[in-house]
Each structure stands twice: as C-alpha cells, then as structure tokens.
Amino acid sequence: MKNTLIAGLLLTTGIHYAAAAEPALSAWNDGTAKQAIETWVSGATQSGSHNFIPENQRYVVFDNDGTLWPEAPLTFQLQFVMDEIQRLAPQHPEWKNDALIQAVISNDMKTVGQSGKKGLMQLMALTHSGMTTDEFNQRVADWVDTHRHARFGCRYDQLGYQPMRQLLDYLRDNGFKTWIVSGGGIDFMRVLAEKMYGIPPEQVIGSFSLSEFSLTNNGTQLRKTLNGAFYDDEAMKPVAIHLFMGRQPVAAFGNSDGDVPMIQYTSANPTYKALGLLVHHTDSAREYAYDAHPTASGKLVRGLTLAAKNGWVVVDMKQDWKTVFDPAQCRPPSFSAE
C-alpha cells in the first residue's frame, strides 16, 4: 500500500517514476551496440582502468531531433510553428494575402518547403519573436497539452525514445553529466528537456537568438527577437560546446551528418578514450526508416562511412531496440511489444 501511494505521488508531481524502476538498458537488445556502450562505461568508471575518466571530466553530449525524439515527418519545433500559425491566423486577417501563410494553413508542405530558409525565417518571426520568454514558454507548454503526433497519436512529450532515455539514466547513474547539443531552438527544448530526459535547462544547448531586456511596472522582462541568430548545427556544434560547456566531451550521440562534427570533436579528445554513436533509423514499422533521403531532416550518409572508419557505434533501431517508445506512456497503433 505504501509503495502504491508513493508511486501515485510521484506521478502526480510529474516525476518519471517508471524510468527509475527500469533495469539499466532493458529496452536494448543484447548485441554489439549495447555491448560497446557497456564496455566503454565500465572502462571509463573503473578506477585503475587504462580508460578511466575522472567523474569531473565525464561530460557527454546528445543531439535531440532524431536522437532523443523523432524528427519525422517534421521536427517537433517545425510542427509547433505550423500549428501556431494556424492557431493565430484568425487574429490576423492581414495574413490572408500571404501565400506562404496560406500554404501553412492548408498544410501545403511542398510550397512551405520551396520557400527555403527565407520562408522559414518568416514563419519563425511570427511564432518565435515579439513575445516575452515566459509567454513563449507557455505557448509551447499549451501546444504540448493540446496536440498529438499525427502518426503515433501520443503527446509530443511522451515520444522520447525509451532506449535513449534509459541510456541517459545509465550514464548519470555512472557519474556522467548529460547535455543536449541540438539544432533545435534552445528555448523550445528547455520547456521539455527536464521532464522528458531529466536534463535541466542549463544543460541544453541549441539554436538561439538574442532576447531584449527591459524594466516593467511589475519588474523585468526578456522579449524574444530574431537578432543575432545562431544555428547550432554541423560545424557550429563544437563551437557551441566550447561556448557553453568549456570542456571537450568524452562521448557524443547523434543520428545525422549534421552531428558528425560534434562526434569528430569529441572523438579527438586528447586525454580520454571517447565514445561516438549514431542512431540509424531503420524501423519503418515502429518509427521511420531513412538515411540518404529523410522526409525533413536527419540525412545520414557521410556519418555511416566515417563510423566504419573511426570505430563509432552505429545503432540499428530495428535490430538494437526492443522498444522505441515506452509502452506505459505511448502505445501507437503501429507499436508492437516484443
């Protein structure tokens, strides 16, 4: 009875009780990927080992889109942009003459895609600037509360990959400090990262622009702008790691060619034996299968070639993961427990 009450209390307060009760890496199939992870962690944490890493040096970095949660058919943040435009449209009759906004409202993704970077920045300006940081955070939280993934039918905050969430727990249990380093917006991810992954806001690095500080009658505020935009992808990931962390990581986890520079930077650690890992999306039944031709983002071609040359671990989602999503949180129609 006592344990039941404790479990109920943890659930109502938002603490992820189920993950804490799971055996380490139980969502992973026994295979070379799991073995490589466990062997590296064992060597890094065993005092006297040739590969021992002191605890104050155990910094590890994870990409987010496609590594910790899905990025198909659209990244979560781009889906938020689309949904926000549709939500706000009735308040803006002047948008009726804007072809790009009308394409968003009618879900014409071909036209949206053809608008390129210029079009994306226009949509970002409408949904990611001109409000306070608190207002933006609330918009993201409201979106999570009211929207479901089109294919899986689950809340977006229920769609963290169970094997990767277990990996985060496993690493932290062994004295590692886990960071997110992603092309996603830093403010967007910070709303979700602690609840979904146990990663606090100060350990989330992403794309960002500069906010404006001002005094108000009620105190102070920060307003979001698109000034000084920094896109945290490809070669900018090592730059951002240096800027925000000030340490060279000892492990890096990604899923695309955009993550290659981060893994290269990590693998070149001059002091410690580092781990590089790429998640390969091979499971069209339980998630998605893509590499050279992703639906939106996450192209993985160069990374697979370099992984073979450099000894990086490649996780075959179909073969290496027993589950993709935690069935206690999300059991989509295509989900099949093994």
Q: Give the pLDDT of residue 232.
A: 97
Instruction: Identify the three-state secondary structure at position 292.
Output: coil
Q: Give the pLDDT of residue 2.
A: 43
Task: Name the β-bridge partners of 280.
Answer: 316
Task: Name the β-bridge partners of 321.
Answer: 28
pLDDT in tens, 65-74: 999 999 999 9
Closest C-alpha among 131, 107, 114, 112 to residue 123 = 112
For the beta carbon of residue 111, count every other beta carbon within 10 angstroms: 15
pLDDT in tens, 77-91: 999 999 999 999 999
Residues 17-26 as b or e (16 or more Cβ within 10 Å = b): eebeebeebe
Edge-to-edge, what's the strand order for the sheet holding 59-62? 219-230, 204-216, 177-185, 59-62, 251-254, 275-280, 313-316
Predicted confidence band of residue 4 (pLDDT cuts 50, 70, 90): very low
How much of the chain exceeds pLDDT 90, in percent? Answer: 88
Q: Give the pLDDT of residue 332.
A: 76
Please, where in the chain does CATH 3.40.50.1000 lie?
28-73+160-320
Burial class (CB in 10 A: 0-12, 13-18, 19+), 158: buried
Q: Region 3-9: what's the mean pLDDT?
A: 42
Instruction: Name the pairing type of β-strands 275-280 and 59-62.
Output: unpaired
For the beta carbon of residue 165, count every other beta carbon within 10 angstroms: 22
pLDDT in tens, 272-321: 999 999 999 999 999 999 999 998 899 999 999 999 999 999 999 999 99
On whether the 28-73+160-320 domain is CATH 3.60.150.10, my answer is: no
Q: Region 39-43: what's the mean pLDDT?
A: 98
How much of the chain exceeds pLDDT 70, in percent? Answer: 92
Q: Give the pLDDT of residue 320.
A: 98
